[in-house]
């Protein structure tokens, strides 16, 4: 995630961006479109992308197909327009009849055939997470290739399945609260932000993002949420009432990033979700909220090849001459295996390429916590070293548990 980003930020959807200068905002909004390019569209295409309902085909609006079909219909139309194709041209490229495309765009094809869905995706040039979102919206169950690794610092490495699972839960709208859990540094925020970007830019959902990592007081959570929905500030109504009124009849997604220290606010979040039927709340947290209606998505380590790819991307960002070669791959792989595929640890290890070779690093990993310090200064303090991450996790434990942790960590000789 954006390490230098503001600590508390409400994300404006495009349609409301014009209001941003007039309303009170605790901090500037942070970009949601991480890793998702919206460039290359004409203003008409951009408008079609930005205004969800306006771009629905007239028949779909009038005859109201079931919500998932309407969402998929809209998605096809958006991608077709973004690619600058007519229905006939898309049909030609996808090897389908023009009528098949028309029916898909009306939402009148009850079960789009996976082969047709893939043909349309290929015809409009979808890949990576966009392809995942598209297949997920069409409810096809075929495995898809992992997102392409472009090497950009904001690019999500691997995690194709997790993005797809998360998007499925979010776009399906069947779950009120989805919590991405896992240890510090495993990639919860990165994953949730990437999925949020796709949900907004490709599924057309109104997505608001609140970074809670620096908020210490659970009592302020709902006010910060109200700010994110553009209804913050003094009012005789409480923040929950304001958000309920704001969201009446609306579909929206709220990402609460870094909830673990604010679990006291969990009941309020659950109540909010119940009172706003169109709202899906996604939280990232080291532990689940434990409220009704919650679905937990547990995030495990990166797969080894993805961890190696992440190492290579980060190492070459720090040392442009670094390249993964047949000669150094075994050492890099050993390092990543030794670090259990924990992305934060892999990034900190890659930062050592300024002073060590992969072979030296693999050797020195005998003392991992001391070695993996000195990450970039613009990372949050709790992510600058592995030790700091463990210490910030430890601070979440009660004193009994902390004593037990200290006791478990003693070496037998101590
Ligand atoms: N799949 C990934 N691709 C690229 N970078 C990642 C990935 N997962 C995690 N990271 C990076 O690893 C670090 C820790 O990830 P983060 O999402 O902040 O972890 P968490 O929220 O679980 O504490 C961040 O710098 C993040 O950008
Ligand atoms: Mg996080």
Q: Is 239 in the pocket of ligand 1 (CB under 6 A)?
A: no
Q: Is 288 in the pocket of ligand 1 (CB under 6 A)?
A: no
Smallest Cα–Cα separation from 251: which of 77, 76, 72, 67? 67
Q: Is 96 in the pocket of ligand 1 (CB under 6 A)?
A: no
Is there a contact between 284 and 177 (Cβ–Cβ < 8 Å)?
no
* 240 C-beta neighbours (distance < 10 Å), count: 18
Confidence of residue 115 (pLDDT cuts 50, 70, 90): confident
Confidence of residue 371 (pLDDT cuts 50, 70, 90): low
DSSP line for 112-142: --HHHHHHHHHHTT--HHHHHHHHHHHT---
For ligand 1, the distance from its centroid to the CA atom of residue 346, given in whole angstroms, is 10
Q: What is the mean pLDDT of residues 121-133?
A: 77
Q: What is the pLDDT of residue 2?
A: 38
Q: What is the pLDDT of residue 414?
A: 37
- Which atom of ligand 1 is least distant from the CA of 182? 22
Under DSSP, is residue 170 helix (H, G, I), strand (E, B) or coil? Answer: helix
Q: Which ligand has an atom closest to residue 1 CA?
A: 1
Q: What is the pLDDT of residue 137?
A: 75
Is there a contact between 381 and 388 (Cβ–Cβ < 8 Å)?
yes
Q: What residues contact 395, with CB distance under 8 A and at least 6 apart?
A: none
For ligand 2, the distance from its centroid to the CA atom of residue 48, given in whole angstroms, is 33
From atom 16 of ligand 1, which residue's Cα is the shortest distance away?
A: 187
Mean pLDDT score across all residues of the chain: 76
Q: What is the pLDDT of residue 122?
A: 87
Q: What is the pLDDT of residues 172-188, one digit of tens each?
A: 867 799 999 999 999 99
Smallest Cα–Cα separation from 141: which of 108, 107, 164, 175? 164
Candidate from 150, 185, 339 with most ligand 1 atoms within 8 A of CB, to mutate: 185
For ligand 1, the distance from its centroid to the CA atom of residue 297, given in whole angstroms, is 16
CA–CA distance, 309 with 303 (Å, rounded to integer): 10
User: Which of the pair, 161 or 370, is modelled with greater confidence?
Assistant: 161
Q: What is the mean pLDDT of residues 150-156?
A: 61
- Give me the residues paired with residue 255 across strands: 209, 282
Q: What is the pLDDT of residue 108?
A: 79
Q: What is the pLDDT of residue 68?
A: 61
Q: Which residue has the tokens 């890099």?
A: 332
User: Which of the pair, 276 or 214, is modelled with greater confidence?
Assistant: 276
Among the listed ranges 106-120, 278-292, 301-315, which one has the minimum average pLDDT value? 106-120
From atom 7 of ligand 1, which residue's Cα is the shortest distance away?
A: 187
For ligand 2, the distance from its centroid to the CA atom of residue 192, given in whole angstroms, is 9
Confidence of residue 60 (pLDDT cuts 50, 70, 90): very low
Candidate from 344, 382, 383 with most ligand 1 atoms within 8 A of CB, to mutate: 344
DSSP line for 273-312: HHH-TTEEEEEEESS----TTEEEEE--PPPHHHHHHHHH
Q: At what angle do helices 114-123 and 87-94 cross, to 10 degrees?
A: 110
Smallest Cα–Cα separation from 91: which of 81, 79, 99, 103? 99
What sign does the dihedral 251-265-196-286 (CA atoms) show? negative
Q: What is the pLDDT of residue 341?
A: 93
Q: Is 188 in the pocket of ligand 1 (CB under 6 A)?
A: yes
User: Which of the pair, 296 or 390, is modelled with greater confidence?
Assistant: 296
Q: Is 158 in the pocket of ligand 1 (CB under 6 A)?
A: yes
From atom 9 of ligand 1, which residue's Cα is the shortest distance away?
A: 187
38-52, 115-129, 351-365, 385-399: which is most confident: 351-365
DSSP line for 9-70: -PPPPGGGGGGGGTS--SS----S-TT----S--HHHHHHHH-TGGGS-HHHHHH---HHHH
Confidence of residue 118 (pLDDT cuts 50, 70, 90): confident
Q: What is the pLDDT of residue 23?
A: 33
Predicted model pTM:
0.61
* pLDDT exceeds 70 at position 288: yes
Is there a contact between 274 and 291 (Cβ–Cβ < 8 Å)?
no
Q: Is 284 in the pocket of ligand 1 (CB under 6 A)?
A: yes
Distances (CA, A) of 205 to 166, 199, 251, 280: 14, 6, 7, 10
State percent of the chain over pLDDT 70: 69
Q: Which residue has the tokens 């079960």?
A: 111
Q: Is 375 in the pocket of ligand 1 (CB under 6 A)?
A: no
Q: What is the mean pLDDT of residues 156-161?
A: 94
- Which atom of ligand 1 is least distant from the CA of 299? 22
CA–CA distance, 185 with 33 (Å, rounded to integer): 21
Smallest Cα–Cα separation from 160: which of 145, 170, 149? 145
Q: Is 392 in the pocket of ligand 1 (CB under 6 A)?
A: no
CA–CA distance, 244 with 43 (Å, rounded to integer): 33
User: Which of the pair, 322 or 382, is modelled with greater confidence?
Assistant: 322
* pLDDT exceeds 50 at position 24: no
Beta strands 177-181 and 207-211 are unpaired
- Which atom of ligand 1 is least distant from the CA of 379? 25
Domains of the chain and any CATH numbers: 14-34+154-298 (3.40.50.300), 43-138 (1.10.260.40), 304-405 (no CATH)
* pLDDT exceeds 90 at position 38: no
Among the listed ranges 27-41, 140-154, 266-280, 335-349, which one has the minimum average pLDDT value? 27-41
Q: What is the mean pLDDT of residues 61-87?
A: 75
Candidate from 190, 283, 318 with most ligand 1 atoms within 8 A of CB, to mutate: 190
* pLDDT exceeds 80 at position 249: yes
Smallest Cα–Cα separation from 268: which of 232, 304, 244? 244
Q: Which ligand has an atom closest to residue 182 CA?
A: 1
* pLDDT exceeds 50 at position 102: yes
Q: What is the pLDDT of residue 367?
A: 61
CA–CA distance, 181 with 193 (Å, rounded to integer): 14
Q: What is the pLDDT of residue 11?
A: 36
- Give me the residues paired with residue 208 across strands: 254
Q: What is the pLDDT of residues 219-235, one digit of tens each?
A: 999 999 999 999 988 78
Q: What is the pLDDT of residue 33?
A: 32
């Amino acid at each position: 995630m954006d390490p230098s980003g503001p600590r508390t930020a409400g994300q404006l959807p495009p349609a409301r961006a014009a209001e941003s200068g007039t309303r009170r905002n605790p901090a500037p909004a942070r970009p949601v479109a991480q890793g998702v390019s919206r460039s290359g569209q004409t203003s008409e295409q951009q408008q079609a992308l930005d205004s969800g309902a306006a771009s629905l085909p007239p028949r779909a609006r009038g005859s109201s197909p079931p919500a998932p079909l309407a969402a998929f219909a809209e998605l096809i139309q958006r991608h077709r327009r973004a690619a600058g194709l007519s229905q006939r041209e898309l049909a030609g490229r996808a090897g389908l009849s023009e009528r098949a495309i028309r029916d898909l765009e009306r939402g009148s094809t009850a079960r789009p055939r996976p082969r047709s869905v893939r043909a349309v995706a290929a015809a409009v040039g979808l890949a990576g997470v966009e392809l995942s979102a598209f297949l997920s919206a069409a409810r096809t169950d075929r495995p898809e290739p992992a997102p392409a690794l472009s090497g950009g610092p904001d690019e999500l490495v691997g995690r194709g399945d997790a993005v797809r699972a998360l998007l499925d839960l979010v776009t399906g709208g069947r779950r009120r609260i989805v919590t991405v859990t896992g240890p510090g540094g495993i990639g919860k925020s990165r994953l949730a932000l990437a999925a949020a970007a796709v949900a907004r830019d490709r599924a057309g959902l109104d997505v608001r993002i609140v970074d809670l990592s620096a908020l210490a007081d659970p009592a302020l959570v709902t006010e910060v949420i109200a700010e994110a929905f553009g209804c913050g500030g003094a009012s005789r109504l409480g923040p929950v009432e304001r958000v309920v009124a704001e969201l009446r009849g609306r579909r929206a997604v709220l990402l609460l990033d870094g909830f673990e220290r604010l679990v006291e606010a969990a009941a309020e979040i659950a109540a909010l979700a119940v009172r706003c039927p169109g709202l899906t709340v996604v939280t990232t947290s080291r532990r689940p909220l434990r409220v009704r209606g919650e679905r937990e998505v547990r995030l495990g380590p990166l797969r080894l090849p993805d961890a190696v790819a992440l190492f290579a991307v980060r190492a070459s960002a720090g040392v442009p001459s670094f390249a993964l070669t047949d000669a150094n791959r075994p050492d890099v792989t050993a390092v990543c295996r030794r670090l259990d595929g924990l992305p934060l640890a892999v990034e900190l290890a890659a930062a050592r390429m300024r002073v060590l070779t992969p072979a030296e690093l693999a050797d020195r990993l005998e003392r991992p916590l001391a070695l993996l310090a000195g990450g970039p200064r613009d990372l949050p303090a709790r992510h600058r070293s592995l030790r700091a991450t463990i210490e910030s996790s430890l601070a979440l434990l009660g004193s009994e548990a902390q004593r037990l942790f200290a006791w478990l960590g003693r070496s037998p000789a101590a």
